[in-house]
Amino acid sequence: MAAIDAVLFDLDGTLVEYERSTGQLLDLAFESAGVDPFFEVEAYLDRYNDHLGPDTSVAEGRADCFAAIADERGRDPDLGRRVAEAFADERDHARVELLPGARETVDALAEDHAVGVVTNGPPEMQTTKLAAAGLADRFETVVFAGHDCSAKPDPEPFEVALSDLDAAADRAVHVGNSLSSDVAGAHAAGLRSTWVPAEAGVEPRPEPHHAVPSLADLAEPPWR
C-alpha cells in the first residue's frame, strides 16, 4: 500500500463544534419567535441538506427547511420562517471550540504531510470558524464543498483539494466524522478514510480504512 503524502480534514464535528448545540439554539429560536415548538432538532438535521445548493445561502436553506416542515405539519410556512430568522439571530459562527487534540494533531501531521480541509459549507461561515478556532493559517488548501464545487460525498471537492496540494488520491487520506459524506466521499474519490465517530457503538457503513476514538489518536497515524 502506498505511503500517505496528504491528509484532508472535515471541519464541523471533526475539528470544531459550536459552543451551543443545534438543539439548544432551536429551543431559543422557538422562544424568541414566540412560537410553540412544533418539531424536534432531528427533523431539521434530517431535512436541512435537501434545501441547500450552490446558489442558496445557509440562512435561505434553513428558512426553506423550516417552512417545509411547518407546511408538512399543518402549520403556516411563515411560522417556520419566523423561527428560522430567530435561529439565525442566535447562531454565531465565531462561537466554536476545538475538539480535543485537533490543533496538536493538525500541527503534528503537517510536519510530514500536506494538509487541507474539505468542508460542506459556504466560505464566509466556514472561514469564520477556522479563524475563531485558530486554524486559519494551518492548511495549504480549504475547499468549500457545495459552493466552490459539488458537496460531499461527491468526489469533486476531494479532487479539487488534491489538485491544490499536487497529491495523488492513492497517497492521501481524509479524516472526518460522517460516514455518509466523509467516508463515502473519500472512497468515491479514491482516498483512504479515517473515521472519528461522533458517538460510540455506531456500526460503520461504509466501512472506513481506519477508525480512531479521537483526533488525539492520530498523533501516531494508523496509516504508517
For the annotated catalytic residues, the residue numbers are 10
CA–CA gap between residue 213 and residue 71 (Å, rounded): 40
Q: Judge whether 169 and 162 are in contact, CB under 8 Å.
A: yes
Which helix (H) or strand (E) is 90 found in, with range? helix 77-90
Of 65, 34, 24, 189, nearest to 116 by C-alpha is 189
Q: Omega into 77 within 30° of 0, i.e. cis?
A: no
CA–CA gap between residue 66 and residue 90 (Å, rounded): 16
